[in-house]
Amino acid sequence: MMTVIFVRRVASAAMLWCAVSATVISAQIVNGNDGSLTLSTTPSSDESESGRCELHIWPSKGLRSVYHGWLHGGIVDGAVNGRDGYPEVPSDPLTTARQVELLKDAGVGAMMDRLDVDVIIHSEAPVSTAIRQSQGRLTTSSSPCYSELILEDVFFQEDFVNGSSLKSLIRFRDFGSGEGPPTQFGTWTKTPLKIFPPKEASSNEAALTELSEAFRANLTEFAAARKGGPIKRRVK
């Protein structure tokens, strides 16, 4: 059973107990049959009867890396795997679990104009072939209106000419009330990095903070591109 985190906006101030980027988590821990834990919202009886819209969000499998230049070979994931000739990168700087934390704090529902929905953040990345080949929902849901936000890839890119950056390949799929095929939009987003990767151990914390901020900035850029803002590259 995959652990998921349900985040919901709560209307009454009396019900607030934990604010997270203009959203609130109202939840209970439920034990799964396999020993896993699910953090789920507890809807009112009216909401249970009428059903609510859902936005499902998936993180990527972790930080990857790529090099553009001519100083050495361009081995994919050379930096994150510690290959010779690549800058030293802190161990697991942007894991799937860390991405989940950042997604919880980012207010993605409001960012994507999904204000009155249940935002469901999955704890594991989906299978890449399912993202590209499936025309149906990636998870079972009876929601009357359903959409997905998927972080397909997150790359640290080292460019000999343009410097370092964090690049994210993000896809949004809107199924409406149907099962598929969805309306889709996808693009790469990119944020420059000035500190990451750190050149010395004393800069580790600042570098990781910069990486987290770049992750959030890429989400914001994606939301703007979907609304008609500047687009770097669309996903076919």
Same-domain check for residues 200 and 122 = yes
Strands 146-159 and 163-176: antiparallel
State the total domains in the chain: 2
Q: Which of 225, 220, 232, 229 is closest to 102 using CA atoms?
A: 220
pLDDT score for 52: 86
Same-domain check for residues 83 and 197 = yes
| pLDDT beyond 80 at 107 | yes
Dist CA 170 CA 57 (whole Å): 11
Strands 146-159 and 63-68: parallel
Tokens representing 227? 């609304």
Same-domain check for residues 77 and 42 = no
Same-domain check for residues 98 and 175 = yes
Question: How does residue 14 score in pLDDT terms, banded at 50, 70 and 90?
Answer: very low
Same-domain check for residues 112 and 220 = yes
Same-domain check for residues 87 and 161 = yes
Mean pLDDT of 149-175: 90
| pLDDT beyond 60 at 231 | no
Same-domain check for residues 165 and 178 = yes
Same-domain check for residues 102 and 39 = no
- Contact assessment for residue 175 and residue 137, using Cβ atoms and an 8 Å cutoff: yes
Alpha-carbon distance values, 33 to 23, 27, 37, 216 (Å) = 29, 19, 9, 34
- Write out the residue range of the structural domain in which residue 209 sits: 54-234
* pTM strictly above 0.95: no
Same-domain check for residues 58 and 39 = no
Helix (H/G/I), strand (E/B), else coil: 29: strand
Dist CA 181 CA 21 (whole Å): 32
- Contact assessment for residue 73 and residue 133, using Cβ atoms and an 8 Å cutoff: no
Q: Which of 49, 64, 84 is the last residue of a domain?
A: 49
Same-domain check for residues 29 and 87 = no
Same-domain check for residues 212 and 164 = yes
pLDDT score for 61: 92
Same-domain check for residues 73 and 105 = yes
